[in-house]
A and B are shown apart, each in its own frame.
Chain A
Amino acid sequence: MYVAVKGGERAIDNAHRLLAKKRRGDTAVAELGVEQIRQQLPLAVARVMSEGSLYDEQLAALAIKQAAGDLVEAIFLLRAYRTTLPRFCASLPIDTSRMLLSRRLSATFKDVPGGQLLGPTFDYTHRLLDFSLLAEGDYPGPDVHGHAQLEPCPHVLGLLAKEGLIKEETDLGEAADDITRTPLEYPASRAQRLQALARGDEGFLLALGYSSQRGYGRNHPFAGEIRIGEVDVWLEPEELGFPIAIGAIEITECEMVNQFVGSTAEPAQFTRGYGLAFGHAERKAMAMALVDRSLRAEEYGEEIQSPAQQQEFVLAHCDNVEAAGFVSHLKLPHYVDFQSELELIRKLRKPSTEQAQ
């Protein structure tokens, strides 16, 4: 029998008010401002922007506040807001070689032109809780040499490419597929895969990248280069007829170098995996680069036998808004579905109980 389920409006209303109360916490403690979140939790903001697929620090900070710090919920909020905005145009591809760097590392060459720039990093910290942060204090910043300048920092893999030791990236001038306009179909192009990975869940990609390092999929990666910094975004509005800069965004770029033993057609050389994420998001960019390389298995004639190499497995499950939505829907009333299963189980058990008697 079908029983319509209606009601609960008052309960829902009050549940939302209770949530607001929980989010606010003890009112004797000052309320957290959105600008404070933006300034003081920039890495959380970066993750929400990347996976929310909208670069807007203030909105990401607002989403974090509204979600009471649940980043996957904040990502959902930002994705939802994003759908209300019209898309004016696409940018010209950002030129990461002209980044205003705040960090730049290569694990493949010690002496890269421009040097190793550590920037603001958790590396080399001892992961000991810093109890001084329990109190408010001054943070003097680094010891800066007044006029110190950075030397030019060309892309590290360009050096290998010059010698022909690594696969060249090529631009055949084809339009980039857009997974937000045309539904993904398999096999997906690399452009589609990278777009999906860029908005994919950091934890999921991290686990997959890790699995590829542990032997699930041929992969022997080196961090060829990691760059974090600001890059100008350029548009070319038709009505103007020339490109213009509209401001800068912070991004993290990672290029992984992987072995490739070559084939009958090609000499042994290195191959690449690429990661790019909004904001300061090093772990995300590295994981993305590992997974990008794993997903190129077919291109290099490698045997596909591990999850990180399987396009459909990776791309269909990397979006945490979709994943969380489908898992969450299990909380919705399934009273009728469950009744029918319950009845079925009872029916199946009946003969056996009768037999037992």
Chain B
Amino acid sequence: MAAPLLHTLLQPAFPDPVLDAQRSFRAALKALAEPGVVQGLRPAHAPSPLAGLAEASHALCLALLDIDTPLWLAPAFDTQAIRANLAFHCGCPIVSARQNARFALLDSSQLHDLSGFDLGNDRYPDQSCTLLVQLPSLEGGRRLAWRGPGIQREHLVAVPLAEHFWQERESRNDFPRGLDVFFLAGHHLIGLPRSTQVAFHGGA
């Protein structure tokens, strides 16, 4: 390991490691409980920026990852600074094979192919890989109707995603197995649990 070099890459994480991790976890929990509703993190409680990682992505990494959660990084995030800081603050192993990951950090260029990620099994569906998808924005895409648990009737959500993503997701959704997704941009996040149904066919 290039340990001496590592030192210069390390930087502080949450201003208040315990409470800010709890706040971020709470936001993630709410995001999955109310799919499609934008949740925000207060800048004062967000971690200092880490090159290439939005505040919300960084915060969720710090709140969710630890020694027991192997992480897969998309090439865009596979930088020395991100590797060093996540390994240091979270202690998470960084894996190169998708199927070994419990969390994956993706950008929009990866969404046409979600193959390889662990969908969990019927006994432990919770062991599936959770996707953290960083986007430039959470708006501006085609408005789609989201329905399902946590949504009273339907939410119209316009996360900018190509249709490929929805096809990929549908093809890997075999309840109770499936993928839970967080979309992250700036200080904001939206949750898309496997239980949410999204009508993406046809229409403009």
Q: How far is the CB of B126 from chain A (nearest CB, A)?
A: 13
**Could you tell me if A239 and B67 are in contact, using CB atoms closer than 8 angstroms?**
no
Question: Is there contact, CB below 8 Å, between A241 and B66?
Answer: no
Contact of B3 among A86, A87, A88, A239 (CB under 8 A): A239
- B contact residues around A240 at 8 Å (CB): 3
Q: Is the CB of B10 within 8 A of A86?
A: no
Kindly list chain A residues whose C-beta atoms are within 8 Å of the C-beta of B87. Answer: 238-239
Q: Closest residue of chain B to A181, judged by CB?
A: B68
- Residue numbers in B under 8 Å from A88 (CB-CB): 67, 91
Q: Does A89 contact B (CB under 8 A)?
A: yes
Whether A89 contacts B88 by the Cβ 8 Å rule is no
Contact check, A241 vs B67: say whether CB atoms are below 8 A apart: no
Q: B151 an interface residue at 8 Å Cβ cutoff?
A: no
What is the minimal beta-carbon distance from B22 to any residue of chain A, in angstroms? Answer: 12
**B1 at interface (Cβ–Cβ under 8 A)?**
yes
When distances are taken between beta carbons in the complex, the residues of chain B under 8 Å from A238 are 1, 87-88
Q: How far is the CA of A240 from the CA of B87 in the complex (A)?
A: 12
Task: Please give me the residue from chain A that is nearest to B3 by CB atom.
Answer: A241
Chain A residues with CB under 8 Å of B6's CB are: 239
Task: Check A239 against B10 for contact (C-beta < 8 Å).
Answer: yes
What's the minimum C-beta distance from B18 to chain A, rounded to whole angstroms? 10
Which residues in B have their C-beta under 8 angstroms from that of A239?
3, 6-7, 10, 84, 87-88
Total A-B contacts with CB atoms under 8 angstroms apart: 22
- The interface residues of chain A, by DSSP majority, are classed as loop
Could you say which residues of chain A place their CB within 8 Å of the CB of B91? 88-89
Minimum CB–CB distance for A61 against chain B, Å: 24
Q: Which residue of A lies closest to B90 (CB)?
A: A86
| Interface size grouping (class) on chain A | under 10
In the complex, what residues of A have CB within 8 A of residue B1's CB?
Answer: 238, 241
| Chain A contacts with B in 237-292, Cβ cutoff 8 A | 238-241
Q: How far is the CB of A198 from chain B (nearest CB, A)?
A: 20
Tell me how far the C-beta of B66 lies from the nearest C-beta in chain A, rounded to whole angstroms: 6
Cβ-defined contact, A87 with B88, below 8 A: no
Give A86's nearest chain B residue, CB to CB: B66
Scoring B residues 89 to 114 as 1 if CB is less than 8 Å from chain A, else 0, what string do you get? 00100000000000000000000000
Q: A239-B10, A239-B88 are in contact. Are A89 and B3 (CB under 8 A)?
A: no
- Measured CB to CB, the closest approach of chain B to A91, in angstroms, equals 13
State which residues 54-105 of B face A: CB under 8 Å: 66-68, 84, 87-88, 91
Chain A hits for B68, CB < 8 A: 87, 181
Q: Are A89 and B10 touching (Cβ within 8 A)? A: no
Give per-residue flags for B1-13: 1 if the beta carbon is below 8 A from chain A beta carbons, else 0: 1010011001000
Bound Cα distance from A4 to B173, whole angstroms: 39
Expressed in whole angstroms, the Cα–Cα distance for A327 and B174 within the complex equals 39
- The chain B residue with its CB closest to the CB of A88 is B91
Given contacts A238-B87, A239-B88, contact A87 B10 (CB under 8 A): no
Alpha-carbon gap, A88 to B91, bound state (A): 7
- Distance, CA A239 to CA B91, complexed state (A): 10
**In the assembled complex, how far is the CB of residue B127 from the closest CB belonging to chain A, in whole angstroms?**
10
In the docked arrangement, what's the CA distance between A296 and B91, Å?
35
Give Cα A238–Cα B84 distance, bound, in whole angstroms. 10
Nearest A residue to B87, CB-CB: A238
The 8 A CB mask of A208-249 against B (1 = contact, 0 = none) is: 000000000000000000000000000000111100000000
Q: Which residues of B contact A (CB under 8 A)?
A: 1, 3, 6-7, 10, 66-68, 84, 87-88, 91
A89-B91, A239-B10 known; 11 new pairs, CB 8 Å cut-off, are: A87-B66, A87-B67, A87-B68, A88-B67, A88-B91, A89-B67, A238-B1, A239-B6, A239-B7, A239-B88, A241-B3
What would be 19 A-B contacts, judged by CB atoms less than 8 Å apart?
Answer: A86-B66, A87-B66, A87-B67, A88-B67, A88-B91, A89-B67, A89-B91, A181-B68, A238-B1, A238-B88, A239-B3, A239-B6, A239-B7, A239-B10, A239-B84, A239-B87, A239-B88, A240-B3, A241-B1
Nearest 4 pairs of A and B residues by beta carbon: A241-B3, A241-B1, A239-B88, A87-B67
